[in-house]
Amino acid sequence: MSDMGNGGATGYRVLVVDDNADAAESLGMLLEMMGNQAHIAHDGLQALEMAAALKPDIVLLDIGLPGLNGHDTARRMRADSGTADAVLVALTGWGEAEDRRRSREAGFDYHLVKPVQIEDLEKILAHPVRAAV
């Protein structure tokens, strides 16, 4: 998959998954100000349920979730035909080479270290492509 054909950072269905409600809401508001449709989930199981109905273009997924962690959630999304082609972005406090390798193996396309820099998010939204980790 190359470009999602949108030509810019507007109009994507974005699922934000973070157990920190304030962080998730803030990121959701930022995404909406950028012209996207943001939806919020607070754990992996809720994210899978929402993704099945929403079929998001992009999923911003925290790794350190309670219960079903972000790596396992990403693997399940990749295995589901409704979300297999979504651009998956890992959001984490861990940014070492081993952390990036684990994200890649779980099916993430991008790996962003918290706090997320707006510039990094804008770059992904401008041209969201698969397998860019």
Assigned domain for 109 exists: yes
Categorize the per-residue pLDDT at 110 as very low, low, confident or very high, splitting at 50, 70 and 90.
very high
- The 10s digit of each residue's pLDDT in 46-87 is 999 999 999 999 999 999 999 999 999 999 999 999 999 999
Q: How many domains does the chain have?
A: 1
Assigned domain for 6 exists: no
What separation in angstroms does the CA of 71 have from each of 13, 52, 56? 21, 17, 17
Q: In which residue are the tokens 């070492």 written?
A: 96
- The 10s digit of each residue's pLDDT in 116-129 is 999 999 999 998 88
SS3 116: coil
Assigned domain for 1 exists: no
Q: 104 lies in which domain range?
A: 13-126
Assigned domain for 2 exists: no
The CATH number given to whatever domain includes residue 29 is 3.40.50.2300
Amino acid at 26: S
Point out the least confidently predicted range of 30-34, 83-87, 104-108, 129-133: 129-133
Written as six digits, the tokens of 22 are 């304030």
Assigned domain for 74 exists: yes
- Name the strands in the sheet holding 87-92, side by side, starting at the edge strand that comes first in the sequence: 37-41, 13-17, 58-62, 87-92, 110-113
Written as six digits, the tokens of 108 are 């993430």
8 pLDDT more than 50: no
Assigned domain for 90 exists: yes
Buried-state track 80-114, b at ≥16 Cβ within 10 A, e below 16:
eeebeebbbbbbbeeeeeebbebbbebbbbbbbbb
pTM: 0.90
Assigned domain for 65 exists: yes
What is the structure's pLDDT at 130?
85
Assigned domain for 32 exists: yes
When the pLDDT of each residue in the chain is averaged and rounded to a whole number, the result is: 91
